[in-house]
Amino acid sequence: MDQSDEFISVKVEDAIGIVELNRPDVLNALNRHMVSEVVGAFERLDRDESVKVILLMGRGRAFAAGADIKEMAGANPVDFELLDPFAPWDRMTLIKKPIIGAVHGFALGGGFELALSCDLLFAAEDARFGFPEVNLGVMPGAGGTQRLTKLLGKTRAMEWLLSGETFSAEEALQWGIVNRTIPQSLLIEETKRFARKLAGKPPLSLRLIKESVHMAVDATISEGMKQERKNFYLLFASEDQKEGMKAFVEKRTAEFKGR
Ligand code: CO8
Share of residues in the chain with pLDDT > 90 (%): 98
Higher-pLDDT residue of 1 and 116 is 116
Residue 2, pLDDT > 70, answer: no
| Buried-exposed string 124-160: b where 16+ CB fall within 10 A, e elsewhere | bbbbbbbbbbeeeeeebbbbbbebbbeebeeeebeeb
Q: Which residues, including other chains, have CB under 8 Å from residue 144's CB and lie 6 or more apart? A: 109, 112, 113, 116, 131, 133, 161
Q: Which residues, including other chains, have CB under 8 Å from residue 243's CB and lie 6 or more apart? A: 254, 255, 256, 257
Looking at the structure, tell me whether residues 228 and 118 fall in a common domain: no
Residue 30, pLDDT > 80, answer: yes
Rounded-to-integer distance, Cα 7 and Cα 34, Å: 5
| pLDDT for position 176 | 95
Q: Which domain holds residue 14?
A: 8-200
Total number of domains constituting the chain: 2
Residue 17, pLDDT > 90, answer: yes
Residue 63 domain-assigned (yes or no)? yes
Q: Are 182 and 122 in contact (CB under 8 A)?
A: yes
Count CB-CB contacts under 10 A for residue 83: 11
Residue 130, pLDDT > 60, answer: yes
Looking at the structure, tell me whether residues 193 and 142 fall in a common domain: yes
Q: Which residues line ligand 1 (CB under 6 A)?
A: 26-27, 29-30, 35, 65-70, 85, 106, 108-110, 113, 132-133, 136, 140-142
Which residues have a catalytic role annotated? Answer: 67, 110, 113, 133
Q: Distance, CA 119 to ligand 1 centroid (Å)?
A: 25
For 66-79, write each residue's pLDDT tens digit: 999 999 999 999 99
CATH classification of the domain holding 238: 1.10.12.10
What is the average per-residue pLDDT within 7-19?
98
Residue 3 domain-assigned (yes or no)? no
What is the average per-residue pLDDT within 54-82?
97
Looking at the structure, tell me whether residues 92 and 165 fall in a common domain: yes
Share of residues in the chain with pLDDT > 70 (%): 99
CATH classification of the domain holding 23: 3.90.226.10
Question: What phi, psi does 180 have (nearest 5°)?
Answer: -160, 160
Residue 1, pLDDT > 60, answer: no
Count CB-CB contacts under 10 A for residue 107: 32
For 214-230, write each residue's pLDDT tens digit: 999 989 999 999 999 99
Q: Which atom of ligand 1 is nearest to the CA of 142?
A: 54
Per-residue pLDDT band for 4 (boundaries 50, 70, 90) equals confident
Count CB-CB contacts under 10 A for residue 193: 10
Rounded-to-integer distance, Cα 33 and Cα 187, Å: 27
Q: Distance, CA 70 to ligand 1 centroid (Å)?
A: 9
Looking at the structure, tell me whether residues 28 and 149 fall in a common domain: yes
Per-residue pLDDT band for 89 (boundaries 50, 70, 90) equals very high
Nearest partner of 38 among 18, 13, 59, 12, judged by Cα: 18
What is the average per-residue pLDDT within 123-135?
98
Per-residue pLDDT band for 202 (boundaries 50, 70, 90) equals very high
Q: What is the mean pLDDT of the chain?
A: 96
- List of E strands, the chain: 8-13, 16-21, 53-58, 99-103, 106-108, 120-124, 128-130, 166-168, 180-182
Residue 3, pLDDT > 80, answer: no
Looking at the structure, tell me whether residues 236 and 110 fall in a common domain: no
| pLDDT for position 19 | 98
| pLDDT for position 97 | 98
Q: Distance, CA 157 to ligand 1 centroid (Å)?
A: 22
Residue 207, pLDDT > 70, answer: yes
Nearest partner of 160 among 141, 181, 132, judged by Cα: 132
Nearest partner of 164 among 209, 200, 128, judged by Cα: 128
Residue 2 domain-assigned (yes or no)? no
Q: Is 142 helix (H, G, I), strand (E, B) or coil?
A: coil
Residue 61, pLDDT > 80, answer: yes
